Amino acid sequence: MEMTEMIFAARYLVELPYVLNIPDGDYDFLYENNHLRLTVHNDYYALFKDASLFPQTLLIGTREQLLPHHTNERGIMKCRTIISLANYWECFDLLEISHEELINSIRNQIRKEDNFPSVEDAEMLLSKMSQQDIDKKIELERKIKTAREIFPPKRSEECIGIINHFIKQYRVAFKDQFADEISLYQVGSGFTNGVLQEHYCDGIKISAIPLVGVITPLMRESWYKHDESLIDNFKKRLMSNEFNEHPELLLIRADNLVHKGAFRSAVIEASAGLESYILRKIINAFHRNGINECQTKETLNKNWKFDDRCKKLFKQLFNISVPEIAPLEWQHANKNRKELRDKIAHTSHEPTEKETKEFIKSINLLIEKIDSYFKKINESNESKNL
């Protein structure tokens, strides 16, 4: 028996957080020695349904394509620029599905809002279906399962790198300061909910699933409840005239920049966070010792190198240097700082996500070790005073 060839396709759609000022259409380009093509859509709209946490995108297309589906419960809104890419695959056989997979697909089909139907509800509906409808349902689910096997979620992640290459070329060509490279974190708040992956079999759409990454950009309601004591401390903090937590802010910014894919900036912020932390420790110690601002600035200017402050000034003020407090953590953080930070500052080097996360982690571990040391010293001094 001759098997029938089926053409599977995946279409990846990403709504940018801005508009590209170029004509709609196909753009061919080279990326990592591969000839690729993407399509720019400035004429796309989104058909969406209100949901408790975030709007649910039902369809994306031109206004004419979506108007027939517009109802009181379904709104239409203009999208910013949407970029799409596509992959194709020839297939001669479909994956099988289990009875459990069939039942779960029916449960998803009859689901209403957050009310997820039971297995019994799905079994009852299945028992009322004709054999012809059951066969159609099984064939559709086999196609969906096959498509998701051919085009795994990782393919969606790869789209971000491809689109960023295109955006870099666009920014330089048109000197557009408002366009920026994207990350899953940023595009998660758009109508594509990250990278929207549409699956087709022989030209017919069979499913669509978004790759979100971090879910927080999607949320439209509070998704975490803080302890009341933290809320009270926050309110007290607001009534303070001074903000002296620049190291903490810089390190939080670094983590945020990682989510946004701005790895160079994340490394710079994290490095500044460590230097600012050490500087604050030294200045506070000078003040406790009665050294005035003028003398403090003079000493810091003479010891402007980071190594001198961590070794010489720390030893002078605390009778112990940073490398002595945390030998291993200092070795890792300082090595990363010298190699990665300096490389970024003086070249166009783009660190990887893994490199950046390891860099930030090494700095956080060093700060935690120093904090732990001084906490023990303070507790020891307090116990002596009792």
Confidence band, pLDDT 50/70/90 cuts, at residue 335: very high
Res 114: pLDDT: 66
The model's pLDDT over 211-261, given as tens digits with 9 standing for 90+, comes to: 887 667 666 677 778 899 999 988 888 888 777 788 999 999 999 999 888
**Residue 277 pLDDT:** 96
For the cut 70, the answer to whether the pLDDT of residue 92 exceeds it is yes
DSSP structural state of residue 5: P
Tokens representing residue 136 in the block = 């159609």
Better pLDDT: 225 or 147: 147
Helices and strands, number each (H, E), in the chain: 16, 9
Distances in whole angstroms, Cα of residue 13 to Cα of each of 99, 177, 247: 32, 23, 38
Cα 24 from Cα 4, distance rounded (Å) = 36
Provide CATH code, domain 229-385: 1.20.120.330
Which positions ≥6 away from 334 have C-beta within 8 Å? 307, 310
The residue with tokens 């309601």 is 221
**Cα(206)–Cα(197) distance, integer angstroms:** 11
* Contact in structure between 84 and 13 (CB atoms under 8 Å): yes
49 CB-near residues (< 8 Å, 6+ apart): 55, 56, 58, 73, 74, 75
Which tokens in the block code for residue 80?
């910013």
CA nearest neighbour of 216 among 161, 260, 162 = 260
- Closest C-alpha among 221, 277, 214, 210 to residue 247: 277
Lowest mean pLDDT among 47-56, 129-138, 174-183, 226-235: 47-56
Structure tokens given for 340: 């990665």
Q: Is 347 helix (H, G, I), strand (E, B) or coil?
A: coil
Helices (H), 188-245: 228-238
25-31/44-49 β-pairing = unpaired
Q: Which of the four pLDDT bands, split at 50, 70 and 90, describes residue 144?
A: very high
* Average pLDDT for the chain: 90
pLDDT at 56: 81
What does the alpha-carbon distance between residue 216 and residue 260 come to, in Å, rounded to a whole number?
13
What pTM value is reported for the model? 0.78
Instruction: Name which of 30-34, 202-206, 307-311 the model is least confident about.
Output: 30-34
Question: What average pLDDT score do residues 170-185 get?
Answer: 91
Distance CA 308, CA 369 (A): 19
268: Cβ contacts below 8 Å, ≥ 6 apart: 341, 344, 345
Rg of the chain on CA atoms, in Å: 28
Q: Is 363 left (phi over 0), alpha (psi -120 to 50) or beta?
A: alpha
**Token representation of residue 77:** 């809104």
- Is residue 40 within 8 A of residue 75, CB to CB? The reply is no
Domain boundaries, the chain: 6-218, 229-385
- Is residue 7 helix, strand or coil? strand
Element (H, E) at 371: helix 353-385
The lowest-confidence range among 227-231, 279-283, 357-361 is: 227-231
SS3 at position 210: strand
On the 0-12 / 13-18 / 19+ scale of CB atoms within 10 A, 251 is buried
Q: What is the DSSP string of 249-269?
A: HHHHHHHHHHHTT-HHHHHHH
Higher pLDDT: 365 or 221? It is 365
Residues pairing with 211 in the sheet: 195
pLDDT at 1: 42
